[in-house]
Amino acid sequence: MTGGPLDAWLRARGEQRAEAGLRRRLRTLPPVCVDLASNDYLGLSRDPRVVAAAQDALDEWGTGSRASRLVTGTLGVHETLERELCELTGQPAALAFSSGYAANTGVLTALGDADTLIVSDAHAHASLVDGARLSRSPVRIARHSDVGHVAQLLAERSETRAVVVVESVYSVWGDHAPLAELAALCRTENALLLVDEAHGIGVAGGGRGLVHELGLAGSPHVAVTMTLSKALGAQGGAVLGSETLREHLVNTARPFIFDTALAPASAAAATEAARIVRAHPELSGALHERARFVASALGTPLARAAVQSLPVASAESALRASEEIRSRGVVVGCFRPPSVPDGISRLRITAPADMELHVLARALETVRDVVGDEPQGA
């Protein structure tokens, strides 16, 4: 039996992706490998203290929260998590979501309406892009980290309210947003600066994030989103800001209201990880030491981030190189359009803070051996 029009369309789209070298597939780690691709920046996902916290939560609360936070799903472990996230970031209030994606779509859809302009950086993560699209707000795209362009868009607006959307540390280039300048601009223009700290927590400011490092924590014109699945080694997300913002989200953010609460084990793991990051800023220092090691070994510009990227000439070259590196026992990230905002395919390399340098050195030799045979991009 042949498929109908939908199957024909799906096959045609699949053929287009294959021709462009953009077909994606699910991946697992080989049984024995050096993992330079994961987001476990500080190695906390397997830290005995974090694992024990998750196991204790399983014993006390069970495997799931069983309901929305507004029904019976709010457990003591969620309240403890939110307090610890506030302690880590210096924010007055926090609300946990089931993922960083849900946090970003939740806050933007809750703040958006026809009288709220969203100004989004051109390199903003897909979850922020989707949140802006779903928000019912007019949206303008600002040139990447161009404060002057943001100022122009805010000055030209006819809407009463505005939200400026950026990442603190961008995941492709590893550059930092000009948060101090943007926060001052938002204060003058009576706008909210929404900062996604997905790649900032555990990385910048001794692990407490770029917003905290710059003294912007608690500012009424600044709010933060974050994921619990990168440096904190767990799962989930959060929005942090004023008590008023939190109350608004509890009542209006659909990804919060209509979603089962974050699983207790994930919440407890993230809580313990947040405590560790706050108590041990040297973890962030070790992460940056390894980032410098990677950049030096590969001859690439150093990004002030966990992720270092190596440009490759084409999507096909990036995929071919990553597969060859993988076959030699090292796993690196392979990022191709549309996941890269500038259209340049890259191998992304993340050396966690707990990786021994001699192990890292051998793995980077493998990367150099393979990529040396591939033409690099701009």
Query: For 247-291, what is each residue's pLDDT tens digit?
Result: 999 999 999 999 999 999 999 999 999 999 999 999 999 999 999
116 in the same domain as 61 = yes
Stretch among 15-24, 276-285, 312-321 having the lowest mean pLDDT: 15-24
Tell me the average pLDDT across 242-246: 98
Residue 195 forms beta bridges with which residues? 166, 224
| Closest by Cα among 12, 22, 2 to 315 | 22
Share of the chain above pLDDT 70, in %: 98
pLDDT of residue 377: 54
- Residue 71 lies in domain: 48-279
Average pLDDT, whole number, for the chain?
Answer: 95
- What does the alpha-carbon distance between residue 170 and residue 307 come to, in Å, rounded to a whole number? 9
125 in the same domain as 211 = yes
85 in the same domain as 186 = yes
State the total domains in the chain. Answer: 2
DSSP conformation class of 209: -
User: Is 286 among the domain residues?
Assistant: no
Whether pLDDT at 345 is above 70: yes
Handedness of CA 264, 267, 272, 273 (dihedral sign): positive
Tell me the average pLDDT across 20-40: 88
321 in the same domain as 208 = no
pLDDT of residue 49: 98
273 in the same domain as 323 = no
| Domain at 30, CATH number | 3.90.1150.10
pLDDT of residue 353: 98
Q: Are 311 and 173 in contact (CB under 8 A)?
A: no
User: Is 295 among the domain residues?
Assistant: no
| Closest by Cα among 279, 270, 288 to 352 | 288
Q: Which residues are catalytic?
A: 39, 125, 167, 171, 196, 199, 230
Tell me the average pLDDT across 141-169: 98
Handedness of CA 36, 55, 225, 120 (dihedral sign): positive
User: Is 86 among the domain residues?
Assistant: yes
332 in the same domain as 202 = no
Q: What is the DSSP string of 246-292?
A: HHHHHHH-HHHHTSBPPPHHHHHHHHHHHHHHHH-THHHHHHHHHHH
DSSP conformation class of 33: -
Residue 88 identity: L
241 in the same domain as 205 = yes
Whether pLDDT at 3 is above 50: yes
320 in the same domain as 237 = no
Whether pLDDT at 375 is above 60: no
Under the banding of pLDDT at 50, 70 and 90, the label for residue 359 is very high
Whether pLDDT at 205 is above 90: yes
171 in the same domain as 151 = yes
310 in the same domain as 200 = no
| Domain at 185, CATH number | 3.40.640.10
Each residue's pLDDT tens digit, 79-133: 999 999 999 999 999 999 999 999 999 999 999 999 999 999 999 999 999 999 9
Tell me the average pLDDT across 134-150: 98
Tell me the average pLDDT across 27-54: 95
pLDDT of residue 1: 47
Q: Are 134 and 108 in contact (CB under 8 A)?
A: yes
Burial class (CB in 10 A: 0-12, 13-18, 19+), 354: middle
pLDDT of residue 336: 82
User: Is 217 among the domain residues?
Assistant: yes
243 in the same domain as 109 = yes
